[in-house]
């Protein structure tokens, strides 16, 4: 979803989370009541809170991912639920351990397999819904992202305060109606500022396959409000290479230029155009045959560049000003393994 595309632009994570809103999908054939009831029953005793879910589910996930029967079990359940099998995602899950960093790298390779719905469609939260609540988990600054790209990690951050940065996701999945949605939360403290909390819903999307793979993007304002990220498609980072930013929309009116986006996400207080926004990306995938366990990932980025220009040559080193900007981007990453629970 771009609002999910958790994960639509008006979304998500709207010309995208709506050219990125979810497109309307045809009404799916309901799964048998027994299958859904069995799934809900198996989840009814799961503890969903910030510490127990993350800690207790590590062994569960390890056993499920390493199971030699994983592929066959997922294929059988997909058939019962009248869903497709995402062979690419299944192959990735079958080849990783329970290490969170390794899972994050494999998640980067997985392509979204959800379908967009109308931006005004609201998912019904009923007894058939499974909720995956990660609880609050810590986001850490990284030098090498799960996407393999390099980020700025000075000893003292130029973007984030020396404080605990946190994210949380509550993903709602209805395997019977083949739909999902998510509530996203962040608690971020920028350098020289107080903690700001963000909270929003991604919009709804249709489920097409197992394992479920969904991602979302958002722009986080420094006052706690949110906006579209304004990049084309759903990207896991503002950069797509060491010298190239993700593409911006081009149109006669209403689209943000590359320069405006660089200013949006710039945190250099000596630059009067810096708006101190943050780029947000979230991703969710089920990781076992029954759909009872999932993995969630949250990424937040901000840049710190005095010039933040789009010129061809920067004053130093013969680099493009875009490259100088990219080299200033700082990135937070965090992930959690989540045991689903029947919605109460």
Report pLDDT digits (tens) over 197-239. 999 999 999 999 999 999 999 999 999 999 999 999 999 999 9
Name 62's Cβ contacts closer than 8 Å, sequence gap at least 6: 97, 98
Both tokens assigned to 195: 């903690």
Find which of 12-16, 99-103, 110-114, 287-291 is predicted with most confidence, using mean pLDDT: 110-114
Q: What is the DSSP letter of 103?
A: H
How do residues 116-158 score in pLDDT, each as one tens digit? 999 899 999 999 999 999 999 999 999 999 999 999 999 999 9
**Residues 335, 202: Cα–Cα separation, whole Å:** 18
What is the arithmetic mean of pLDDT over 53-77?
Answer: 57
Position of tokens 């062994």? 59
- Confidence grade of residue 166 (pLDDT, cut at 50, 70, 90): very high
pTM higher than the cut 0.85: no
| 293 has a pLDDT exceeding 50 | yes
Distance from C-alpha of 301 to C-alpha of 281, rounded to nearest angstrom? 9
């Amino acid at each position: 979803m771009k609002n999910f595309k958790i994960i639509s632009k008006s979304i998500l994570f709207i010309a995208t989370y709506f050219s990125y809103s979810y497109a309307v999908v045809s009404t799916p054939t309901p799964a048998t009541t027994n299958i859904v009831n069995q799934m809900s029953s198996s989840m009814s005793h799961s503890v969903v809170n910030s510490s127990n879910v993350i800690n207790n589910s590590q062994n569960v996930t390890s056993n499920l991912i390493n199971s030699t029967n994983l592929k066959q079990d997922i294929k059988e359940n997909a058939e019962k639920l009248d869903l497709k099998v995402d062979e690419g995602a299944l192959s990735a899950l079958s080849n990783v351990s329970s290490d969170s960093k390794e899972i994050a790298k494999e998640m980067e390779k997985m392509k979204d397999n959800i379908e967009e719905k109308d931006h005004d469609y609201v998912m019904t939260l009923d007894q058939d819904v499974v909720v995956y609540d990660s609880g609050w988990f810590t986001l850490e600054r990284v030098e090498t992202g799960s996407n393999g790209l390099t980020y700025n990690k000075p000893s003292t951050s130029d973007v984030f305060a020396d404080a605990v940065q946190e994210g949380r996701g509550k993903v709602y999945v209805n395997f019977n109606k083949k739909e999902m949605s998510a509530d996203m939360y962040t608690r971020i403290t920028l350098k020289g500022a107080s903690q700001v909390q963000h909270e929003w819903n991604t919009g709804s999307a249709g489920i097409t396959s197992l394992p479920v793979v969904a991602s979302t993007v958002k722009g986080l304002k420094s006052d706690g409000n949110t906006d579209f990220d304004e990049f084309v498609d759903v990207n896991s980072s503002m950069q797509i290479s060491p010298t190239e930013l993700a593409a911006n929309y081009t149109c006669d009116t209403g689209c943000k230029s590359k320069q405006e986006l660089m200013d949006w996400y710039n945190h250099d207080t000596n630059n009067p155009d810096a708006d101190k926004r943050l780029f947000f990306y979230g991703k969710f995938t089920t990781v076992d045959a029954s759909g009872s366990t999932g993995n969630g990932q949250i990424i937040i980025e901000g840049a710190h560049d005095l010039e933040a220009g789009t010129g061809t040559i920067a004053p130093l080193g013969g680099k493009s000003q875009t490259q100088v900007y990219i080299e200033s981007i700082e990135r937070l990453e965090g992930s959690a393994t989540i045991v689903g629970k029947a919605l109460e």
